Structure 1
């Protein structure tokens, strides 16, 4: 059993859980939205997407974010997933991050979208 991120309660009033694929998706989300320095014993852990909220949205920001996200995923989750593609687009005030990956243990492909 893997605890669901963000912490939630199930319909039975217990801690919500998720399967392995959902847990990996949750770990990707945690990585992307954790700022470096927030984890005590892992000061370089994080994708820092939350910090981008205060940056002017531009094509340059999207390109830089794509590079940083792909590097963070490979560094911290590379033993669990193979990153197939990272696409970052800016749409007005919204930054969209699309991650295509393969779970190494099952060889299943997933595409997930994260926005800020």
Structure 2
């Protein structure tokens, strides 16, 4: 078992845990929605994806964002997952991200999706 995210105490008074698939999903979420510079000891960690909610929507922005996200996931989580595809959609102040990946330890394919709005 892995430590759950966000950190919390469970009903038994212990650190909450998560299974591997949930833990990996939480790690992906942290990479996606942490802004570079937000973590003191890891200034390059993250993508700053939340800021793109306010950017004008265009095909070029979507393509650049897909490369940004895929690169960050490979850099920070490449030992845990193999990214197969990243889809980013921004519509009227809502950002939707879909990541298709394989958990390296179990070779299980997963699809995770997040939405963030203004």
The interval holding the TM-score normalised by the smaller chain is 0.7 to 0.9
- 8 Å Cα contact 2:96-2:114 kept in structure 1: yes
Corresponding position of 2:83: 83
TM-score, scaled relative to structure 2: 0.87
TM-score (norm 1): 0.88
1:24 Cα deviation after fit: 0.7
Counterparts of 1:1-116 in structure 2, within 5 Å, are 1-12=1-12, 14-116=14-116
In 1, distance between residues paired with 2:115 and 2:15? 26
TM superposition shift of 1:91: 2.4
More displaced 10-residue stretch of structure 1: 87-96 or 100-109: 87-96
Unaligned regions of 5+ residues in structure 1, if any? none
RMSD over aligned CA atoms reads 1.6
Whether the 8 Å CA contact 1:32–1:69 is kept in 2: the answer is yes
In the superposition, relative to structure 1, how do residues 13 and 70 fare at CA in structure 2: closer, same or farther (>3 Å)?
same
Q: Deviations over 1:11-44 (max 9, x none)?
A: 4454322011111111000010111111222211
Q: Distance in 1 between matches of 2:39 and 2:9?
A: 25
